[in-house]
A and B are shown apart, each in its own frame.
Chain A
Amino acid sequence: MNRLTGNLSGPQTLGSGRGFWGAFCAAVTLAALFPLIGNAYTVYNFAYLMVWTFMAMGLSLIWGYTGILSFGQTAFFGVAGYSYGVISINLGEDYGLTQVALLGALLIAAVFAVLIGYFLFYGGITAVFVSIVTLSITLVLETFMAQTAGPEWAIGEARLNGYNGMTGMPPLIIPWFTGQIYVQGITLFYFLLIILVAVYLLLRMLLNSRIGYILVGIRENSERTEMLGYDIRRYQLLAFLIGSTLAGFSGVMYTTWGQYLTPDAMGITAAVLPILWVAAGGRKDLTASVVATIVLVYLSQRLAIMGDQYALVVMGAILLIAVLFVPEGFVVAAVRFIGRLSRKKMR
């Protein structure tokens, strides 16, 4: 068994052993069975919750494991989302070309990430200045997209449309022998679930491998890691690239989920949300980040019934309490607490 799970467990990630993996399999099975018992709306909603987990995992990788507070996740979200819209509207939906749009959007986000990452890390920019630069980039993009409402702002057939929102992009379509499969509704749910589990497991393997150790070393003491002979810039760039591309994937999925995208998704309030989820859950742990994202997005949806303001106030309060009193994150703190309890019992 160990050979198979191999690097799936390790000191970098919470949870190991049969108890954890048993619970994990149970959770995934329950999720897979959910569409059979839930109605279309709840399935649709749960898919929405899963859309954001990729961005959160990306931020956990960049911030939690490598120590880089990047406000840029929403920028990559927006870039990839808009790229998908532009490419898919121009290429059309036949012959599985939407897959091309998906890959194209991810590629654009990745190139963007490499450029920015190179500028940041190979330029010797560290710590708080990375945050400032990434925040500025996010705001520049939002400001720019906001004024694209006129008809002159179009790439090919796709109008960018500013705050009116870009619409008309097709959902993901998988060409199949029996005809075209529209990745919507239940199909989208399973699509996201499969990719979520795959990305989660792959990231776990990455983080518990040699690269993961180096990333954590950079987080803990970058100078020491550098002096031990590692080119930290390369690893920072790698983490930034993977994390930002994941955010881009969230962006594409969000766009196909709702077939609508506005610059609000790249604004200053949107920029703090992934930071909020990851900080509240426990940024240094992948599982905590995913769990916290699902719980908090769901919670803010429930609260938003009373009005967006209430949801945001509660979210802000949660973040504040987390930073001040529970810096390791609520989920991590809860797991450790349970761990302590069970150890006491064994005595």
Chain B
Amino acid sequence: MTNKMVGVASLMGMVTALWAVFVYAPNEATMGVVQRIFYFHVSAGMMGYFAFFVVFVSGIAFLVNRDLKWDRVARCSAEIGVLFVTVNIAMGILWAKPIWGIWWTWDARLTLQLLLWILFISYLMLGAYIADPLKRASLQAVFGILAFIDVPINYMAIRWWRTQHPSPVIAGGTDSGLDPDMYIAFMITLAAFMLLYAYLLGHRLAVERTREDVEYFEQLVHSQ
């Protein structure tokens, strides 16, 4: 399956998700129509975590195999992860204003998400300031691993500190759970986001490969 087909599938998924979120899913009892932001907010957050997990795993794979292919996957995935977490935080801010009455609060989950965002922007910045590709790949892989390990410790520290964000409704405690129709709408949205991630990653990798080829030929021309 070519990446173009994944792109078309993700577009179709997004259109279906929009229908499921705005037409199919029922209105939430207390929050009303605002709650519909939930489907995109949570899906983007989940895919952000997944993208950073890919950074972590590809970082280890690079250090073990010394294959620059893994470094490329890690960097591209980090960029997409930052994008998804940005969407997640931006939608969270929009949702918080009408429901909590404030744009932002230094609650556990919000702080954690912001730190995750900052950590992986640092990761991208680090890559931009090292010239030698092999050196850059190792150093970024190491920082990616350290940053990912930091997340659960951060989670503990911040959770003891304070919590306002609602606990997870999916796979949460005993009285958690979604209305079955909402659950279906959420699953459709999540699937659409997965396809979007796959498409963006495939596309970004292709761009990166082209860039590396251009760089290679440029050096070839200059050396003559």
User: Do A and B come from the same complex?
Assistant: no
